């Protein structure tokens, strides 16, 4: 716009000089005076031209700023695609593939039992695992579904590595079939592989996954691997220095086990996705082949003000120095990912 203004102003000044050219019959003194007068007029006109041009630029900037202030970035929304969700009672079966100590098993089991365990006087201000899970209940309510209740129904150990220590992705569903106690469609199997088991895609493209088995009543399953010896910087951060980026000091794991505490972060992330998008037509953003789900829409966020690569100011245990943001069953402390709140359209954290 200001270029058009400048063009018009220039035409006006040119026209002005055409009207005020000195007559050719003037004497030399008068002609000299006339030329000086015209030069002075030209200087004044040039100043006016510059001033008008600046005013035009300022006006254009103000208009652009006004338009920018009127524009608001549309909120990120996890759309419900009208598919089936895991609602009501969800019996969870765990398959421990490889060597897991009793302490490791109890840490993970206590986390799962904490999801829908409400202590007396449980306040929304207390950072409990069950309060973290309440955001998932919002998804259920918005879709007109029943609230979820997760409980452990079965645990199976495969210490002898029946399928070997190098697994392909299709073999994960085979292992999940061994975990199911019933054939109920709402049942969820969790396959956990030990630190010495390599799974196709593990550490390179993911730290775990969730899916379903169509031939078994579309039963849902989750797989998560222990990354402590393979890629802790990717799958157990922030309890290990990151593989890439600034090498910030690792945080102390709340249960004293970098691998297992990292697994809980990933179990929580995939559990939120499996319940709200078990068959690829539930709640998600983006492509159904690579969806952003309830937790994966908030990568690397654990507390308010955190972002991917910076864990933020977490709660710290005064005795052990361990970092956490949630309290579970038996007083256990955990680090849980932020969940995308479908009401506020923001990543929701406990602290």
Helices 2-19 and 28-70: angle between axes, nearest 10 degrees: 160
Q: pLDDT tens across 128-176, in order?
A: 999 999 999 999 999 999 999 999 999 999 999 999 999 999 999 999 9
**Within a domain: residue 27?**
no
Please tell me the predicted confidence (pLDDT) of residue 243: 87
Please tell me the predicted confidence (pLDDT) of residue 49: 52
**Within a domain: residue 320?**
yes
Per-residue pLDDT band for 9 (boundaries 50, 70, 90) equals: very low
pLDDT at 314 over 80: yes
Do the strands 326-327 and 323-324 form a parallel or antiparallel pair, or are they unpaired?
Answer: unpaired
Rounded distance, CA 201 to CA 209, Å?
10
> Could you tell me if 84 and 66 lie in one domain?
no
Smallest CA-to-CA distance from 223 within 199, 201, 200, 191 is with: 191
pLDDT at 109 over 80: yes
**Between 186 and 195, where is the model more confident?**
195
> Could you tell me if 61 and 126 lie in one domain?
no
Could you give the 3-state DSSP secondary structure of residue 108?
A: helix
Q: pLDDT tens across 38-61, in order?
A: 445 545 555 555 555 555 555 555
- The pLDDT of 176-181, averaged and rounded, is 88
Share of the chain above pLDDT 70, in %: 75
- The pLDDT of 280-296, averaged and rounded, is 94
**Between 118 and 114, where is the model more confident?**
114
> Could you tell me if 144 and 60 lie in one domain?
no
In this prediction the pTM is 0.79
Q: What is the DSSP string of 198-249?
A: EETTBTTTBSEEEEEEGGGTTEEEEEEE--TTT-HHHHSTTSS--SSS--PP
Whether 335 and 323 have beta carbons less than 8 Å apart is answered as yes
pLDDT at 184 over 80: no
- The pLDDT of 5-15, averaged and rounded, is 44
Segment among 23-32, 185-194, 320-329 with least mean pLDDT: 23-32
pLDDT at 313 over 70: yes
> Could you tell me if 98 and 56 lie in one domain?
no
Query: How many independent structural domains does the chain possess?
Result: 2
Per-residue pLDDT band for 68 (boundaries 50, 70, 90) equals: very low
pLDDT at 8 over 50: no
> Could you tell me if 49 and 95 lie in one domain?
no
> Could you tell me if 149 and 254 lie in one domain?
yes
Domain that holds residue 274: 80-348
**Between 201 and 63, where is the model more confident?**
201
Query: Considering the chain, what is the average pLDDT of its residues?
Result: 84
> Could you tell me if 107 and 177 lie in one domain?
yes
> Could you tell me if 43 and 181 lie in one domain?
no
């Amino acid at each position: 716009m200001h270029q058009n203004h400048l063009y018009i102003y220039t035409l006006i000044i040119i026209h002005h000089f055409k009207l005020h050219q000195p007559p050719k019959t003037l004497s030399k003194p008068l002609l000299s005076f006339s030329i000086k007068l015209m030069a002075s007029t030209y200087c004044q006109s040039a100043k006016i031209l510059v001033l008008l041009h600046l005013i035009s630029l300022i006006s254009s900037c103000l208009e652009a700023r006004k338009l920018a202030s009127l524009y608001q970035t549309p909120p990120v929304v996890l759309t419900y695609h009208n598919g089936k969700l895991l609602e009501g009672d969800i019996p969870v079966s765990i398959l421990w593939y490889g060597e897991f100590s009793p302490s490791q098993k109890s840490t993970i089991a206590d986390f799962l039992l904490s999801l829908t365990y409400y202590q007396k006087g449980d306040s929304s201000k207390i950072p409990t695992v069950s309060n973290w899970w309440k955001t998932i209940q919002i998804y259920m309510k918005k879709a007109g579904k029943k609230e979820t209740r997760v409980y452990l129904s079965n645990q199976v150990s495969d210490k002898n590595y029946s399928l070997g220590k190098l697994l392909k992705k299709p073999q994960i569903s085979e292992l999940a079939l061994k975990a199911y106690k019933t054939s109920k469609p709402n049942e969820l199997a969790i396959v956990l592989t030990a630190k010495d088991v390599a799974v196709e895609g593990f550490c390179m493209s993911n730290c775990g996954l969730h899916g379903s088995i169509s031939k078994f009543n579309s039963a849902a399953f989750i797989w998560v691997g222990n990354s402590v010896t393979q890629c802790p910087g990717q799958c157990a951060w922030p309890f290990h220095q990151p593989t890439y980026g600034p090498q910030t000091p690792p945080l102390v794991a709340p249960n004293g086990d970098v691998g297992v505490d990292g697994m809980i972060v990933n179990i929580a992330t995939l559990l939120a996705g499996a319940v709200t998008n078990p068959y690829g037509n539930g709640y998600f953003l983006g492509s159904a082949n690579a969806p952003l789900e309830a937790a994966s829409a908030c990568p690397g966020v654990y507390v308010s003000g955190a972002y991917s690569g910076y864990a933020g100011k977490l709660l710290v245990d005064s005795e052990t120095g361990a970092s956490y943001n949630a309290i579970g069953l038996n007083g256990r402390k955990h680090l849980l990912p932020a969940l995308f709140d479908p009401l506020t359209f923001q990543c929701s954290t406990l602290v």
